[in-house]
Amino acid sequence: MTSSQMRAVIAGTGRFLPEKILTNADLEQMVETSNQWIMERTGIKERHIAAENVSASDLAVPAAKEALKKAGMKAEDIELILVGTSTPDMYFPSTACFVQAKLGASKAVAFDILAACSGFVYGLTTANQYIASGMYKNALVIGAEVYSSIIDWEDRTTCVLFGDGAGAVVLKAKEGTAGILSTHIYSDGTKADYLQAPGGGSANRFTQQFLDEKKYRLEMIGNRTFKVAIKMMVEAAQTAMKHNGVEASDIKLVIPHQANKRIIDMVAKQLGLDGSLFYMNIEHVGNTAAASIPIALDEALKEGRAGKGDLILMVAFGGGFTWGSALIRL
């Protein structure tokens, strides 16, 4: 690709986390668990939890405003809004439409992308294609989740993992070598039962029995998901590197989906990458699903972990199964 061709460049990032913090000590009072057990198996110390009257769009809007401010843009300038979420405000309208209305982004096309924890990478992929085609000159890509709304707080294997939050990026069309170099996304629906929230759709309609059995809550077969997640994230990262002729020494920063510290450590080991390249904030935010990569990206950039011209590798895995990677030059 020549320098005169258009790319989708990250022009601004933002994040927002609810004020309430749920610590491992708090969870010890709720379920049969311990801080040591949680830390050893997940690396999570605390997570942010939204109030009961707060929706995904409520978290998305302040993250989006911060990203717009950093990009030097107004909401009315945005042409496309994509929200990756598996905990939407409601079935429809889409959460993106609520975000559009709350921002006052009257010119924007807005829709959701449901790819669980891979939702942000799927969103980047979609926005990049619109920008590369010339259809839109900019896009707002958001990951926003309120996983506390679908967690079974009596299930110690899942309730310790997830947190709430939102992260956002503004993409602009720009000539040059910076921007999204490539994205690579994948799906495998044959393993859907490993990680799912089966309730509420047309396949499993709400009945009193359904509610009594808590089938609207998240369900996960942890050991199977763990093994597949490592394999798929490694393969997606390798594909991105090979596609762009990139060596490990070329990468400045890796932003992995913050699912589990042990998963991230294994991915780093199997890729042969120094663990210090992998940005992790899971200790303080937990697994925020589609919001995890943009939240971590905003934190990492604020800390100066990467700058202009640096290569950033993003890699995600989520229910579906879905997984993917993105290689970006700042």
What lies within 8 Å, CB to CB, of 274 at 6+ separation is 248, 268
> 10-40: string of b/e by CB count within 10 Å (b at 16+)?
bbbbbbbbbeeebebeebeeeeebeeeebee
- How buried is 132 (Cβ within 10 angstroms: 0-12 exposed, 13-18 middle, 19+ buried)? middle
Q: Are 309 and 329 in contact (CB under 8 A)?
A: yes
Which are the catalytic amino acids? 117, 257, 287
Contacts 24+ apart (CB under 8 A), 97-102: 98/55, 98/57, 99/57, 99/60, 99/61, 99/64, 99/142, 99/144, 102/57, 102/61
What DSSP string describes 135-193?
A: S-SEEEEEEEEEGGGS--TT-TTTTTTB-EEEEEEEEEEEESS-EEEEEEEEE-GGGGG
